[in-house]
Amino acid sequence: MLRSLLALILTLTLTDCRGSSTTVSDQPHATDRYARLLRRQLTDSDPLAVEREITCEVGRIAAAFGGDEAKRRLRPVDDSIVRSAHDRHRYYEIDSMRAFRSFEIGGPLCDSLNAIADREVPVKPISTSMDSLHR
């Protein structure tokens, strides 16, 4: 699915930026906004507009935690929200709508959405051993 491809791209581009993984207990609410957006997307009349927000949110989480940790945190959210047959059907419909479309991870739209997200559910970048070397 396209979201898996996005997660893979984020992993490849951000994994080297972050050190070892944190645990969900470090920032347990980091994926709350993502969960709300995913729920909204399943019922929204314009799911691709919500997809833009989701793309920015995934980028925000991956930038804070690195690609591997972001995947570890986001995958269970997908599994917990897309549970019923109806939701899975809708999820695959939306996936088909996303085909051959691209959504910008950065730029002014994501900057604005991420500023709002940071006020609602701040996500602090993880501190790594690499960070301490640059101080």
Per-residue pLDDT at 123: 86
* Residues contacting 123, CB < 8 A, separation 6+: 27, 30, 60, 61, 64, 65, 117
- Asked whether residue 18 carries a pLDDT value surpassing 70, the answer given is no
The tens digit of pLDDT for each residue in 86-115 reads: 999 999 999 999 888 888 777 888 999 999
How far apart are the C-alpha atoms of 31 and 8, rounded to whole Å?
Answer: 18
Closest CA to 43 of 78, 4, 93: 93
Per-residue pLDDT at 24: 58
- Asked whether residue 124 carries a pLDDT value surpassing 90, the answer given is no
Residue that wins the pLDDT comparison between 60 and 128: 60
- Asked whether residue 4 carries a pLDDT value surpassing 70, the answer given is no
Write 76-85 long-range contacts (CB < 8 A, 24+).
77/31, 77/34, 77/35, 77/38, 78/3, 78/38, 80/35, 81/35, 81/38, 81/39, 81/42, 82/38, 82/42
The tens digit of pLDDT for each residue in 27-49 reads: 888 899 999 999 999 999 999 99
